[in-house]
């Protein structure tokens, strides 16, 4: 009997818990970066109660027939904030949502657009769809809720329903969106999105602007190769996954970080040092990146990952 009561209490507790919803995310300005393209530059940092989990760069393109949204953020609340900024500029329908990769800080906001229009198409890489089927989205929902002290509560997993691969393109209202994927880079599901008419390239998390991010699902070699391939794109506006929109110098700087980290690790690996032993020397070699948020948090992990890659490549 006691057990039944406990279960009932848990179920009741869960029902109350599920009914709660985190507060609205305040408006952040949509900055025009090209004639039809706007970016809402999110706070640079990890998810916290203060930033309500909002930390990426949601964007949208106003086509002749309606709006195309890219990466609407980390929660239903962020997605709703993105929709409010769109509504300040146009009453036109949202035609599609494009997702750059499987990390939930970029796409959990899909829910707001699906709630507004159950028929809206959501695009993503097949590996992203497979990851969500394997439970990655559920983990992100739980982690966001915990890291933001419940600010994202009410968010549920709404993944892509339309798979796109490298070389695919879709057009809306005369504007073409071309997807680029060059294997595992920042994750296994990265899609860079070129908008040729706007001379815009959305970089996904393959590059940030002055921000060090997790590489737990990535490969330094693949990320560097992907950025090298990206330089073939004739874009003049580069939208990173985190940090301000800029030009090709931001791509070069992020590539430099990845390449210099890997080169420093290789040097000390060849000299017989362990990851722990080489950390101060790698930090010194990368001193020019030390003021990028995330540097101290990620350096140890990045060294370990680079070491694993170097060991694998040496066989
Ligand atoms: Zn990411």
Kindly report the length of the chain.
Answer: 315
Tell whether the model's pLDDT for residue 4 goes beyond 50: no
Q: What is the mean pLDDT of residues 119-129?
A: 98
Task: Output the CA 136–ligand 1 centroid distance in Å.
Answer: 13
**Rounded to the nearest whole angstrom, what is the distance from the C-alpha of residue 103 to the centroid of ligand 1?**
5
Would the pLDDT of 283 be above 90?
yes
Residue 12 alpha carbon to ligand 1 centre in Å: 35
Q: Where are the domains of the chain?
A: 2-246, 249-315
CA–centroid distance, 101 to ligand 1, in Å, is 7
Enumerate residues with CB within 5 Å of ligand 1 (an ion).
103, 205
**pLDDT tens-digit readout, 240-275:** 999 999 999 999 999 999 999 999 999 999 999 999
Q: How far away, in angstroms, is 246 Cα from ligand 1 center?
A: 19
Cα 298 to ligand 1 centroid, rounded to whole Å: 13
Distance 94 CA to ligand 1 centre (A): 24
Q: What is the pLDDT of residue 1?
A: 38
Cα(248) to ligand 1 centroid in Å equals 20
**Residue range 202-206: average pLDDT?**
98
What pLDDT was estimated at residue 314?
Answer: 87
Domain 2-246 sits in CATH at 3.60.15.10
Write the pLDDT tens digit of every residue in 51-67: 999 999 999 999 999 99
- How many Å lie between the centroid of ligand 1 and the Cα of residue 79? 17
123-142: average pLDDT: 98
DSSP state string for the chain: -HHHHHHHHHHHHHHHHHH--PPPPPP-PPEEEETTEEE----SSS--TTTTT--S--EEEE-SS-EEEE---SSHHHHHHHHHHHHTT--PPEEEEE---S-HHHHTTHHHHHHH-TT-EEEE-HHHHHHHHTTHHHHHHHHHHHHTTTTTTT------SEE--TT-EEEETTEEEEEE--SSSSSSS--EEEEGGGTEEE-GGG--SS-----TT--HHHHHHHHHHHTTS--SEEE-SSS--B-HHHHHHHHHHHHHHHHHHHHHHHTT--HHHHHHHHHHHTGGGTTSTTHHHHHHHHHHHHHHHHHHHT-
Task: For residue 255, give every residue at least 6 positions away whose Cβ sits within 8 Å of its Cβ, in sequence order, or none.
Answer: 207, 224, 227, 228
Q: Ligand 1 centroid vs 257 CA: distance in angstroms?
A: 16
State in Å: Cα 104 to ligand 1 middle.
Answer: 8
pLDDT of residue 260: 98
CA of 231 to the centre of ligand 1 (A): 20
Q: Is residue 48's pLDDT more than 50?
A: yes
Q: How many Å lie between the centroid of ligand 1 and the Cα of residue 213?
A: 8
Compute, in angstroms, the gap from residue 285 CA to the centroid of ligand 1.
25
**What number is the average pLDDT over the span 104-133?**
98
pLDDT of residue 315: 79
Can you name the residues that pair with 180 across neighbouring β-strands?
A: 192
Buried b (16+ CB within 10 A) or exposed e, 170-208: bebeebebbbbbbebbbbbbbbbbbbebbbbbbbbbbbb
Percent of the chain with pLDDT over 70: 94
């Amino acid at each position: 009997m006691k057990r039944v009561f406990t279960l009932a209490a848990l179920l009741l507790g869960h029902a109350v818990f599920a009914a709660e919803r985190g507060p609205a995310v305040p408006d952040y300005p949509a900055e025009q970066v090209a004639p039809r393209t706007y970016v809402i530059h999110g706070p640079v940092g990890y998810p916290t109660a203060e930033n309500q989990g909002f930390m990426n760069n949601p964007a949208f393109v106003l086509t002749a027939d309606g709006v195309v949204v890219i990466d609407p953020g980390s929660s239903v609340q962020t997605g709703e904030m993105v929709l409010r900024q769109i509504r300040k500029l146009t009453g036109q329908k949202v035609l599609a949502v494009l997702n750059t990769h499987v990390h939930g800080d970029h796409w959990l906001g899909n829910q707001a657009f699906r709630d507004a229009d159950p028929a809206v198409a959501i695009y993503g890489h097949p590996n992203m769809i497979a990851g969500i089927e394997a439970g990655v989205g559920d983990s992100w929902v739980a982690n966001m809720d915990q890291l933001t002290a419940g600010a994202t509560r009410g968010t549920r997993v709404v993944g892509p329903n339309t798979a796109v691969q490298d070389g695919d393109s879709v057009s809306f209202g005369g504007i073409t969106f071309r997807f680029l994927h060059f294997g595992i880079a920042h994750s296994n599901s990265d899609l860079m999105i070129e908008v040729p008419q706007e001379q815009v390239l959305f970089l996904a998390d393959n590059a940030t602007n002055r921000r060090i991010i997790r590489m737990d699902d990535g490969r330094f070699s693949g990320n560097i190769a992907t950025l090298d391939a990206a330089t073939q794109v004739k874009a003049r506006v580069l939208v990173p996954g985190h940090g301000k929109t800029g030009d090709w110098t931001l791509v070069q700087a992020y590539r430099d970080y990845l390449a210099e980290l890997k080169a420093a690790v290789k040097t000390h690996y060849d000299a017989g040092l362990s990851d722990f032993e080489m950390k101060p020397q790698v930090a010194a070699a990368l001193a020019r990146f030390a003021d990028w948020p995330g540097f101290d948090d990620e350096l140890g992990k990045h060294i370990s990952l680079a070491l694993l890659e170097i060991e694998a490549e040496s066989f």
